[in-house]
Structure 1
């Protein structure tokens, strides 16, 4: 696979030979190696607004990820993810090769980056104020995140809130929004202009599809913001839209439960969590109607 820039467009040849793509997903540079056309095509579609570089030894790379077919003993119908040459995961069906890349990137950041505080949360921003959406899998945070990004909010991250330990600012980590099952059709209807990658069936999470970040979010990926709200969303079918104040002490405890590396950071982690909560209004949020949810959060800005 050969990579070059041509009139601002990414050009990938169809050679079978595996070569490296260097992709800037701020604040990191990621080297991706693959010969699988499905992975190449999906990266080309979902990351078309990002900076690509020709890889050479002079460029510092944070992470090396390789996605290839399994070997003879693994079976050529499987995909294997290599992180820095190692295989920390069991292989997956070849049809899931692209989400394997996204999941592998999540894992390597959560497992190795300890100069930031990392929370399992989505983050969006508007008018300089960041909103952290924190919750367990299935709570509806990615669905709500995608709906808000489709209605004027800037995407910071769908999977991970990254907090600068020196300034307590949130750092953008802009990547495609991962949606599951019924949320895919819901967001395609709610944000008809959104660009989606292919659907991946029979994964451990059900059906998965990725919504491409809008160009504005990618362009502003260097622009940090302070938290203004911390919200714990919960989708409940046919429920009323209900926003309730949540105690700050309990908020700290919930964020600790949802942190990837709080225990690694000791006093730095505790201090930054307390600062984050002190500066934020904290809420529990129950919803079923996306229109009402987006209007409610826009009203918080007023």
Structure 2
């Protein structure tokens, strides 16, 4: 019987570098497996810092995506060196500075998920679970979605994703797509001070999205990355500096429209996504949550989950 793979945090840097440079590292995100190869100097160290709880898998029977993070070509290997991201030999982005290789990989993989992972409805949403009941936080950029997702994980919620609400159209279950949480600008220090349990990678300054650091998913979330959750609550978060906490119920038609708008592939999937999002909006209470204090917002979410459901639930996968 083959022993279960140990975590990346317990893998030597030389082993990790060798795997990346040769056959690749297979990164299991729950709903998707990525085969990652790289000969980029220092990249293995950055990766290990935020993927420490993930399994070290230098081999696997299958990968959904095959990607590379490589050094720049020609003089760019030595003069102002950069990093290149590719999938199946195609480079969808301009190179990033070498110091931003990890953000390049994270954004590149997110782009691949959004472009190619169309067997499920992909909501642009944070997704977390308390026990087996999932909270979907759908919002446009700048709403504080990732910061609130990070804080909820650090207060005991199971993180499914800070970016993708992966909704299975057949079962209505929410599947984990677990990645490090990308924190930007002032959110970095906010989360660092929020909990001593936060494991943050280095700050990448002045990237194309500002200053960025990645929060490592906790071991409990990683251990449960193959366990779906049943959608129980939809939240449209809105952070406002100094704002008093406000919880505003959303009508089902409002929730449907906002969920559909905050979806990567709603139009592409047509009737499949329409039915899945309509069922979700009908099954879950939805609120707009305006807040300025993270713990206050998390307490409100607990109260909302504790309220008796007004409608029937959606059955998870069996």
Structure 1 length as normaliser, TM-score? 0.93
Give 1:130 deviation, angstroms. 0.7
Q: Partner of 2:33 in structure 1?
A: 29
Out of 252, 257, 262, the residue aligned to residue 253 of structure 1 is 257
Q: Which residue of 2 aligns with 1:61?
A: 63
2:6/2:55 contact within 8 Å kept = no
Which structure 1 residue ranges, 4+ long, deviate > 3 Å from structure 2? 5-8, 14-17, 73-76
1:224 aligns with 2:228: yes
Q: Shift of the alpha carbon at 1:18? A: 2.7
CA displacement at 1:12 relative to structure 2: 3.5
The answer (yes or no) to whether the contact 1:117–1:262 under 8 Å persists in 2 is yes
Distance in 2, matches of 1:7 and 1:133, equals 29
**Paired positions, count:** 296
- For 1:39 and 1:295, locate their aligned partners in 2 and report how far apart those are by CA, in whole Å: 38
Task: Name 2:148's counterpart in structure 1.
Answer: 144
Offset of residue 227 of structure 1: 1.1
1:220-245 CA distance string (max 9 Å, x none): 11111121111111110011011100
1:132 aligns with 2:133: no
* Deviation readout 1:131-185 (Å, 9 max, x if unpaired): 1111111100111111111111110101110011110110011111111110111
8 A Cα contact 1:118 1:160, kept in partner: yes
CA RMSD of aligned residues (A): 1.9
2:13 is aligned to: 12
What is the distance in 2 between the residues matched to 1:138 and 1:17? Answer: 34
C-alpha separation in 2, matches of 1:18 and 1:225: 36
State the 1:299 CA deviation: 1.6
In 2, the alpha carbon distance for the partners of 1:269 and 1:294 equals: 29
Match of 1:286 in 2: 290
Separation in 2 of the partners of 1:116 and 1:232? Answer: 21
Deviation at 1:37, TM superposition (A): 3.6
Partner of 2:43: 39
Deviations 1:74-118 (A, max 9, x none): 665111101111111111111111111111110111101111000
Partner in structure 2 of residue 174 of structure 1: 178
- Structure with greater helix percent: 2
The answer to which of 175-184 and 27-36 deviates more is: 27-36
| Cα deviation, residue 266, structure 1 | 1.4
> In terms of mean alpha carbon deviation, does 44-53 or 168-177 score higher?
44-53
Which one of 115, 118, 121 corresponds to residue 117 of structure 1?
121
Distance change in 2, residues 1:15/1:22 (3 Å): closer
| Local SS of the residue matching 1:100 | helix
